[in-house]
Structure 1
Amino acid sequence: MLSVLCLSTCLLGPVYLEGEVVTLLVDAILRPHSRCSTVQLADIARAIGLVASGAKVVRRKLVSMLEDYKSGCASVQLLDVNVCVVVNNVEGLTRGGLLSVGFAHGVTLQGNRDSMRDTLISHLSSGECALHACKNLPACASIMQTFVVGHVSPDRFVLRMCMLDAMCSGRIKSLPLKRLLRVLKVPFESDMTLPQLRKTLGRYVQRLRTEQEHRITEVAHSDWPVLLSDQQKTDVVKRFREATSSEALKIASCGY
């Protein structure tokens, strides 16, 4: 299993395996009698989306990362389809738990836990699950399925609107809601109550929807493409013939 996963990593980059399979695989690798080399540990870490920082990747750092990831897999529900629950839970996850969720969504997480939480919230609030759902990423696919209408899957913008609407009307707590607003770059006061924060998010969502409607209207009423008149067509052909005539394309000898 290890050799197959490492080969897939070399050819295709990070690959997705079911969380339980990854947990069992990591558990086998970390057993005292395991004979995995440091290079193999680095390959398996890279395959599940873990990034080791520093110029020299030492064995103990890799083992620590994998142990952290293993503990996180056991403490988080990766396929929860309730986006409000996912957003709320992000705040309390350990580093390993954050890495597990990021891996299930196809998102590489780096930096401290605060930065990792911001990256996950950005992924969820931007509709990127619509792009990742077709890449064998069940966490994104599970969320997508909750917004399918008549066997038609939403595109990225529609999914984003649906998820933000759910966040407005759902039971997101104050701390994750403030993080969401910061990620979206929506101004708010630090002493705002939860209802005020929800209204702030609601106004932002409505503005996005209005802007999208205006763009659609502009395209629908635009004059492009413009049909050329017969005279304009004649002028274009004439200029082309003049520019490509034998006289215009003469080759002059250099006298120097």
Structure 2
Amino acid sequence: MRDISVGDADRLEPLRATSGTSLEGFAGASVEVLFGGDERLRLYRYGTVASTNRTLWALLDAGESLPAAVVATAQTAGRGQRGRTWHSHPGGLYLSVAIAPQLPLRERFMLTASSAWGIASALRDLGIPATIKWPNDLVLDGRKLGGILCETRVRTDTIAVAVIGVGVNWCNPTPATGIDLSSYLAGCGSRAVASLDDLTHLTGAGVLAGWARYSEVGLEIALADYTQLCSSLGRSTVVDGRIGKVVGVMPTGELRIQYGDGTSHCLKEVRRSPGTIGLGYD
């Protein structure tokens, strides 16, 4: 079985934490069982860890059954796109969920897409107008609420195990392009999500619900679900020196962009993979 990372840039990269990782140094977690639809999710709670994804891989290597999850108060080496790491401050949600999707490798983007849809839908069900920014950001009020990074282990071109890492801003510091859910809800006079603990439960259930939806309806409908909540559609962007418009997302995660050729009324379409073009925030 080989390890790959599929996240912001939808790239296949070797994981730094592989089988054989010891659980030494990860002791002291409290454990509880959450319910997400028909799934029972065993959740390990930690204080500060290097990375919730790395910690969850270690638990799986030590024999933990699926589905399972890890949540931490803070991370000292949280994982992001193109191998970036950062310090995740207390006050945010840092959650990783492991499932056994048995998904064809060519459909790997749908792990991110279904997770983003599931979490955004769970928030929207509570009256919180969350959307998705291609490929993997959760958006609220035009600013970044959270992000998703999926790491997988592959056997014979099939994704056997996936760890879906989710970060959501609750009351942690955020940049100008970010937003925290706690302040947003306070400004609305809402207690739709009353605590970080509530957000943990909602997010874990959202990941499981997104995957359950994909398993039930298949790629075509699940991709339509994702694009329906994708606020990137209709946005203008510059491609090859020309201004184009985002018109869709491919099942592989590629962004579809159309632009005029300047000499006729015909539109041309180009596709760009995650990590090769940035849409930014307004």
TM-score over 0.5 (shorter chain): no
More strand by share: 2
Higher RCO (Cα < 8 Å, 6 or more apart): 2
